[in-house]
């Protein structure tokens, strides 16, 4: 997505709001771009930065070929600063370093831009430091914060930003893009349930790790209908060795969410929406074991487990707890 026309195909309202500001030369001093992964947050942030620095703009679009545009693409522009979570959070030391950078004049102009990815992971101290930036904005400073969860950001920060809500992508359109890229219907349904990013979906589809992850999800769901001790052993002997990293475990929980939603879809007769399972005897057996009421509780427990992972609870403990919750 290199132009605002490209953005408009995915996010028409966001494109309209920002391009109107560009036309009126009223770009906000601070933006909060809120949307799920793959909805275009980073692409929009890069375009805003380019339009501020590009030396050969054409209307609302940057030229994409000048030295300024190329350096922003490569993240080597001296006056465009990127802040990303260090581990699970953005720490106060990172914001202090940013503040130090902003005490100097721009290396090539008076304009400065900082882009904060995962703004909802700012620690309390880091968030308060950012708030000082926003309370005393420089005419030549633009803040762009990206988040999947704007409600986790301080209300005082939100109130000082122009909030741009990005809409979820149309699943059918995304599945068609995956089909066009060579994925079959079943794979397209699976990856569209897990991501909105085309390149990411294609890469995952070719990754043997994900094939193994999918098999383990099916085995774990079926294990819940058998011996409870076997489930605990399965978690330690098979699940945790495969989902070693925190990010991998989060993907495993996402797959479990999709699998249990399949059982719920079976209950309500929406078999066209199935992703992990197919309408067969196995799914019928799972539907008999898990009632609709129980499935709603399970989905709630899995969402809670994902939240605990983000709060830095130990992955093994998270998995053990959610396993016990599903068994109860």
Residue pLDDT, tens place only, 37-68: 788 999 999 999 999 999 999 999 999 999 99
Which residues, listed in sequence order, are joined to residue 175 by a DSSP beta bridge?
none
Which pLDDT score, from 0 to 100, does residue 16 have? 96
Which pLDDT score, from 0 to 100, does residue 291 have? 95
Query: Do 89 and 154 belong to one domain?
Result: yes
What distance in Å separates the CA atoms of residue 144 and residue 249, rounded to the nearest whole number?
29
What distance in Å separates the CA atoms of residue 249 and residue 240, rounded to the nearest whole number?
8
Mean pLDDT by 10 residues, the chain (328 residues): 87 95 94 90 96 94 95 93 91 91 70 94 93 78 93 92 90 86 91 85 92 94 83 93 93 96 94 90 92 96 90 90 92
Which pLDDT score, from 0 to 100, does residue 139 have? 65
Query: Do 228 and 93 belong to one domain?
Result: no
Global confidence as pTM: 0.73
**CA nearest neighbour of 7 among 50, 41, 56:** 41
For 82, 239, 312, the CA distances from 77, given in Å and listed in that order, are: 10, 43, 33
What lies within 8 Å, CB to CB, of 328 at 6+ separation is none
Which pLDDT score, from 0 to 100, does residue 196 have? 79
**The token pair that represents 245 in the structure block:** 């990293």
What distance in Å separates the CA atoms of residue 183 and residue 176, rounded to the nearest whole number?
9
143 part of a folded domain: yes
48 part of a folded domain: yes
**The token pair that represents 124 in the structure block:** 């309390």
8 part of a folded domain: yes
Which pLDDT score, from 0 to 100, does residue 113 have? 94
Query: Do 98 and 238 belong to one domain?
Result: no
44 part of a folded domain: yes
The proportion of the chain whose per-residue pLDDT surpasses 70, expressed as a percent, equals 97
**CA nearest neighbour of 83 among 106, 69, 100:** 100
Q: How many residues does the chain have?
A: 328
Q: Which residue has the tokens 């900082």?
A: 114
- E-state strands within the chain: 30-34, 80-83, 112-116, 141-147, 162-165
Which pLDDT score, from 0 to 100, does residue 106 have? 57
Please say whether the beta carbons of 135 and 29 come within 8 A: no
Give the number of other CB atoms < 10 A from CB of residue 185.
10
- Total number of domains constituting the chain: 2
Query: Do 227 and 319 belong to one domain?
Result: yes
265 part of a folded domain: yes
Domain CATH code at residue 116: 3.40.50.300
Query: Do 58 and 142 belong to one domain?
Result: yes
Half-sphere exposure of 126 (CA within 13 A, CB side): 21
Domain CATH code at residue 240: 1.20.272.10
Which pLDDT score, from 0 to 100, does residue 182 have? 92
286 part of a folded domain: yes
Domain limit, last residue, from 165, 197, 221: 165
Q: Which residue has the tokens 């947050």?
A: 41
Strand, helix or coil for residue 171:
helix
Q: Which residue has the tokens 């052993």?
A: 233
For 253, 254, 275, the CA distances from 262, given in Å and listed in that order, are: 14, 13, 7
Query: Do 8 and 125 belong to one domain?
Result: yes
**CA nearest neighbour of 231 among 242, 243, 241, 219:** 219
Which pLDDT score, from 0 to 100, does residue 227 have? 64
173 part of a folded domain: no
What lies within 8 Å, CB to CB, of 236 at 6+ separation is none
Which pLDDT score, from 0 to 100, does residue 281 have? 84
What distance in Å separates the CA atoms of residue 164 and residue 43, rounded to the nearest whole number?
13
**CA nearest neighbour of 108 among 68, 144, 137:** 68
CA 279 to chain centre: 30
What distance in Å separates the CA atoms of residue 294 and residue 315, rounded to the nearest whole number?
24
Which residues, listed in sequence order, are joined to residue 86 by a DSSP beta bridge?
89
Q: Which domain holds residue 284?
A: 207-327
Which pLDDT score, from 0 to 100, does residue 151 have? 86
186 part of a folded domain: no
């Amino acid at each position: 997505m290199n132009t605002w026309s490209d953005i408009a195909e995915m996010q028409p309202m966001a494109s309209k709001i920002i391009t109107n500001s560009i036309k009126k030369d009223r770009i906000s001093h601070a933006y909060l771009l809120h949307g799920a992964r793959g909805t275009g947050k980073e692409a929009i942030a890069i375009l805003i930065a380019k339009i501020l620095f590009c030396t050969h703009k054409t209307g609302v679009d940057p030229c994409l070929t000048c030295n300024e545009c190329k350096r922003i693409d490569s993240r080597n522009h001296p006056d465009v600063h990127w802040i990303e979570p260090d581990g699970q959070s953005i720490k106060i030391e990172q914001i202090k370093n940013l503040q130090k950078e902003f005490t100097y004049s721009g290396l090539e102009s008076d304009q400065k831009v900082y882009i904060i990815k995962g703004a909802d992971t700012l620690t309390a101290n880091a968030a308060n430091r950012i708030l000082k930036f926003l309370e005393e904005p420089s005419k030549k400073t633009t803040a762009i914060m990206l988040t999947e969860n704007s409600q986790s950001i301080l209300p005082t920060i939100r109130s000082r930003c122009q909030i741009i809500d990005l809409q979820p992508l149309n699943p059918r359109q995304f599945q068609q893009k995956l089909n066009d890229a060579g994925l079959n219907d079943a794979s397209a349904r699976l990856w569209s349930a897990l991501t909105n990013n085309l390149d990411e979906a294609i890469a995952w589809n070719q990754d043997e790790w994900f094939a193994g992850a999918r098999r383990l999800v099916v085995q774990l769901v079926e294990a819940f209908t058998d011996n409870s001790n076997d489930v605990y052993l399965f978690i330690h002997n098979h699940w945790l060795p495969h989902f070693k990293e925190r990010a991998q475990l989060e993907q495993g929980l996402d797959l479990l969410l999709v699998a249990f939603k399949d059982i719920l879809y079976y209950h309500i007769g929406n078999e066209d929406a199935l992703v992990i399972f197919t309408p067969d005897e196995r799914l019928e057996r799972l539907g008999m074991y898990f009632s609709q009421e129980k499935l709603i509780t399970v989905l709630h427990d899995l969402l809670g487990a994902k939240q605990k992972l983000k709060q830095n609870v130990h992955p093994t403990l998270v998995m053990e707890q959610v396993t016990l919750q599903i068994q109860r």
